[in-house]
Structures are given as structure tokens and as C-alpha cells.
Amino acid sequence: MPIILSREHLCRILAMTEAIQALEDGFREYSRGHCFVPVRMPVRIEKANGIFLFMPAYLKKEDSFGTKMISVFPENLKKGISTLQSVYLLNDPMPGELLALMDGIFLTAIRTGAASAVATKYLARENSEVLGMIGTGAQAPFQAEGVCAVRPIKTILIFDRVDEIAKKFSKTNSPRLRVPIEVMRSTHEVVVKSDILVTVTTSIQPVFDGHDLKPGTHINAVGAYTPEMRELDDVTVRRARIVVDTYEGCLAEAGDLLIPMKAGRISKESIHADLGEIVLGKKPCSTEEDEITLFESVGFALEDLVTARLAYHRAKESGTRFEFSFTHPSGKHQVTEEVGKGIKLDPAHAVRTA
């Protein structure tokens, strides 16, 4: 019987350390060619300045299939509604039956933080102690938690254009992470002192000067997920060893890379590897202490699938779930009323028939 996992359920059963391990295994399977993950399909709703994104993924080894639907409607803020709406469907791919319906917002947040953590684990210097963050919105706590799980962070430096949001982030997350969090007055103050730098904004122009980067800095660029968005300048991408979550996704959507490519500043060959190749050891990590490394992330449907699988199994083990059914208690499919003109659900097979 399918289960529903709310945001509250997921908060209780998903741990960052387990999500990191699940994603590391997922990237390893991706690099081995054991999954099918098409580039997400966008559907733009121009009159509302919004977009729907559909993200399916199939993992052969675990025999798992799932699809995330996420929408981004910036105008929702004027209505007091979240700009992001999302749901995840987890299926058993053999009979095709639905296993779980779960909140996609928390799932996206924790898997994105975990992906950055995997990249940090492989690319950042092991003695990195200062984490810098530009942007302190909803995704930022998960980024901070993920990095702190894989490196001995002693100080977090943050900057946000809205000072009150930065102060709230510090007050809330410093005791949770047990790390002092300082609000800085500029991105420059953050960048020049950071061993690891996370950018998680919705900017359409670079948010810091690449000349400010210390030798040996690792960057997780998370915010830019469309060709028009950009957090990094030409200097940064030219100085860095670039690792992407996937070639297909970043070459289709990452403005951080596409904009300087179009200008002839870098090329496709400037990308050193995808994260799966690094995790599997197909390509080397950073080899020099003073080398700047960059993880460019636009989001990847396999990240959602492996995290959703983890949540499903933890829910089944703990009993943390709400069960539901589309069928009659007798086990027979209920005959439904007419759905649209001339379309009905067949009671025997529950398929659309004209």
C-alpha cells in the first residue's frame, strides 16, 4: 500500500550523514552507467512568470524509479505563498505501482546539501576550517550542515543582501551546528577568509570577485540553475578545476559556465570531470594544495531518487508514515465518474479508455 511522507515525516527520518552516503553511492552507480536520468524537462508558464520542472530517474541496481515535479513561481511572494512547490513520486518499476508520495521541498533541500558535501569530501582540502556562505535562504542550512559533516569547520562566515536574514540564519544555525557564525559586511570579507565557499543565491550576475579567492579554496556553486543565472565571474571559472554534477545538466542549464563559454572565456574542455567520475576514481581529484576547485551544481534527478529511496525505507522501518489507497477496501478498483469528455477509468485495469 502506498505511503505519504510529509515534510515533518522527512525531517524526522532523514539524517544528513545517511543522505551523503546515499548520494555518494548514487553518483558511483551513475558513473558506472547503471541508471537512466534524462535532463529535466521544463514547462514555462509565461503569463505567471513561472516554470514547472519534471525530473524522472531510474536506478537499475536498486530497481528504483521516481519522478519529482517542482515549480518555481517568484510572484508567489506577493501572495504570501512559497515560490517553490514540489512533490515526489516513488514507484516500484516492475509492476509500476506507486510506493510513496512525499514532500519534494525538504527532499530537494537535503539532497542538494548532501551533493555539495560529497563534492567537498573529494575536492576540498582536508584541513579546511573556515566555511564562507553567500546567500542564507532556505537552502543554506542544508549546505552548511553538509559541509560541516565532512570537514572540521570551526568558523562560518556569511553574507546576505538582507542583513536580517543573515542574522536570523546565524542565530538559528550556530547552536544547531555548534559552530560560531559571523555576519560579514560584504562578499569580499567572506571570500578572502574562506577555505570552502558556498554560493546559494538567485543572482543573474557574479556575486564576488574571483581575484579575492585564496589559493586552495573549494567552491560549491549551487544557486545558478538556468542559462541566464550567474554567481561566478570569468576569473573564478578560469582559475578553477571544474567538476559538474552532470555534463548534460550543466551544459544545458549552468549559466556560470554557459555565459563564459559563449564569450569564449572557457570551453567544454575546461570541465575536468563530473562528480561520478571523481567518486569512482576515473579522474583525479585536486592534486595541488593551492589549486582552486569548483563544484558546479544545477540539480540531478538521481539525487532525488536515492534520497527518496532512503526516506521510504526509513519510514517503513520506523512506522513513520500515512498509508492510503486508490482502490476499494475489497482490493478491486473503484469505478470512477467520467474524467473529462469521453474519458473513463476502466474498473478492471484502471487505464484510460476512450
> Read out DSSP for 70-94?
EEE-GGGGGGT--SEEEEEEEE-TT
- Edge to edge, the sheet with strand 155-159 lists 181-183, 155-159, 130-134, 196-199, 218-221, 292-296, 240-244, 271-274
Instruction: Name residue 54's beta-bridge partners.
Output: 41, 69
> Read out DSSP for 115-183?
HHHHHHHHHS-TT--EEEEE--STTHHHHHHHHHHHS---EEEEE-SSHHHHHHHHHHHHHHHTS-EEE
Place of cell 542564507: 136
Query: How many angstroms separate the Cα of 91 from the Cα of each of 100, 128, 287?
Result: 7, 40, 41
| Alpha carbon distance 67, 16 (integer Å) | 21
Place of cell 551513475: 30
Q: Which three cell numbers stand for residue 192?
A: 578572502
User: Which entry of 47, 60, 61, 68 is annotated as an active-site residue?
Assistant: 68
Q: Examine the residue annotation and report whether 68 is marked as an active-site residue of this protein.
A: yes
How, if at all, do strands 322-323 and 3-5 pair?
antiparallel
Residues in CB range of 81: below 8 A, 6 or more apart: 73
Place of cell 519534494: 104
Among 155, 173, 171, 153, residue whose Cα is nearest residue 163: 171
Catalytic residues: 68
